[in-house]
Structure 1
Amino acid sequence: MMTNLLAVDTSTENCSVALQWQGTFFSEAIESPREHSQRLLPFVEGVLQQGNVALNQLDGLVVGVGPGSFTGVRIGVSMAQGLAFSSELPVFPVSSLQALAQQTIRKHKAEAVVACIDARMGEIYYALYRSSNGIAEPLTDPAVAQPSVKLFSRHNLEGFHTAGTGWDNYSNVLDPENKLKQNADCRLPLAEDMLTIAAHGDISAVDAESLEPLYVRNEVTWKKLPGR
């Protein structure tokens, strides 16, 4: 099991970094949607300094690969690629939706979660998760759709909690009868929950060159770093 990990995430408005080193956790996070590129590296350097550890001493890197902001996802994935190349570390890609579900399980002991992120343009990214021994396990693949009361009609959502910014604007459309357990404190994913998911061992590591964003929208293509 990978135990010494650094996680970075800029897939949404949050810039979030977390370090797990020899059983101790360090983290930094701030909601700063237009400052990810300026804040991410100082956050990484900060948590490594707090842990008194060098990057190449770690077992691997964890990165939030989306879905979310296209620019934010690119920044996070590019940073993770750069760090992984420089230190020859494997990378564990984690969905921002799964991280939201994990946060809700951590904070509210949720048994099941509907994670939704505002995708702009009148759409949401969403996926359903259940808690399996305290870890967010996917029930559906991440998808994008226009908010509709019919979106979850084939799922029995009794006992489900909500997570993510998608509920900010579309709660009345998605859950008109207010059946779900709303969690206003689980709006944005955090790197610390990505650490938990990766450390559990269900996520397969990739090398830096193979790391790709999870855009969900098919028309968006990813360009790898120059020379890679």
Structure 2
Amino acid sequence: MTGILAIETATEACSVALWRDGDIEHRYELAARQHNQRIFAMLQDLMPAGLDGVDAIAYGSGPGSFTGLRIAASAVQGLAYAADLPALPVSTLACQVHTALRLGLVSEGDYVFSSLDARIREIYFALYRIENGVAVEVQAARGDAPAKIVQASMPEAMIGLGSGCNFIEQFPDRVSSALTQVHPNLLPEARDLLPLAQKALAAGDVQRALDVQPVYVRDEVNWKKLPDQGKAQGKKS
């Protein structure tokens, strides 16, 4: 038996999922600014017996809410370290594409512009293509002002996902004219981390608990790994 626990808290949605040999159980709530209070209650409800039967822990690694990403990374670090389990980082933007795929909003061969509102007059975005039922990255995630999101490899048609699409009127004409559909209210769910997590686990592409960290896109944001947490930030002069 193979089991994967998945945690996604990068947006106002808070969700967890458990995959065991094809069977999926999940919990999902809209819990803006309450992730820290809800995540462990959801895990307890999902897995009252703890991590028995879990072989790895997948998490939405970002980009997304700074606080939300820290909550997921802290939870995964603690659980993976305590149970000596590998971690499986999955892009939140790629997870969002798989949520859309599960809901029938995108399909095989589509180019997908996955985005999130970065809350600082910028958006996070990445470009994917659905190939053999999997979101394949065409352009890596980055953050920028909506008016500056010109892409290096611009398809003639693509589907827009996520809260970043609320700024479509500010997009360059080249981008907005290529968006044939937009779904700005879509939010990523933990169960949609699982297809990419399963692929990573099969390939041995895993992290140690000590290496778990969010992907913020912006270089100025730092995350303390387990050995560094609790250390002084610097000596007084």
Q: TM-score, normalised by structure 2?
A: 0.86
Note the C-alpha offset of 1:100. Answer: 1.0
1:171 maps to 2:168: yes
154 and 32 in structure 1: CA distance in 2 versus 1, 3 angstrom threshold: same
Distance apart, 1:54 and its partner CA: 3.9
Identity among equivalent pairs (%): 36
Q: Separation in 1 of the partners of 2:221 and 2:161?
A: 25
Which secondary structure does the structure 2 equivalent of 1:181 belong to?
strand
Q: Deviations over 1:61-97 (max 9, x none)?
A: 0011111111110000000111101111100001111
Name the counterpart of 1:66.
Answer: 62
Distance in 2 between residues matched to 1:3 and 1:56, nearest whole Å: 11
Q: After superposition, what is the alpha-carbon deviation per residue over 1:177-201, rounded to whole angstroms, capped at 9, x for unaligned?
A: 5541334376211101101111123
Give the Cα–Cα distance (whole angstroms) in 1 for the partners of residues 78 and 172 of structure 2: 41
Kindly indicate which of the two structures has a greater share of residues assigned to strand. 2
Q: Which moved more, 1:177-186 or 1:80-89?
A: 177-186
Contact 2:163 2:184 in 1 (8 A): no
What are the ranges of 5 or more consecutive residues in structure 1 without an aligned counterpart?
Answer: none
- After TM superposition, the structure 1 = structure 2 runs for residues 28-39 of structure 1, keeping only pairs within 5 Å, are 28-39=27-38
Q: CA RMSD in A?
A: 2.1
For residue 109 of structure 1, report the CA deviation from its aligned partner: 3.5
> Are the structure 2 counterparts of residues 142 and 77 from structure 1 closer, same or farther at C-alpha, using a change threshold of 3 Å?
same
Tell me if 1:83 matches 2:79. Answer: yes
Gap runs ≥5 in structure 2: 232-237
Distance in structure 1 (CA, Å) of the matches to 2:131 and 2:113: 15
Is the CA contact 2:93–2:125 (under 8 Å) kept in the aligned structure 1? yes
The one of 156, 159, 167 aligned to 1:158: 156
Aligned mates of 1:158, 1:3 — CA distance in 2: 41
How many residues are matched? 222
Report the CA distance shift for 1:91/1:153 in structure 2 as closer, same or farther (over 3 A). closer
Is the counterpart of residue 12 in structure 1 residue 30 in structure 2? no
- Aligned counterparts of 2:6 and 2:204: Cα–Cα separation in 1: 13
TM-score relative to the length of structure 1: 0.89
Equivalent position amino acid for 2:44 in 1 = E
Question: Which whole-Å deviations, capped at 9, do the CAs of 1:13-63 have from their partners, x for residues lacking one?
Answer: 1101011013211111111111100100111121224xxx64142110001
Shift of 1:174: 2.1
Which one has a bigger Cα radius of gyration?
A: 2
Q: Displaced runs of 4+ in structure 1, greater than 4 A?
A: 175-178
Change (3 A) 1:184 1:161: same
2:225 aligned with 1:224 = yes
User: Which secondary structure does the structure 1 equivalent of 2:77 belong to?
Assistant: helix
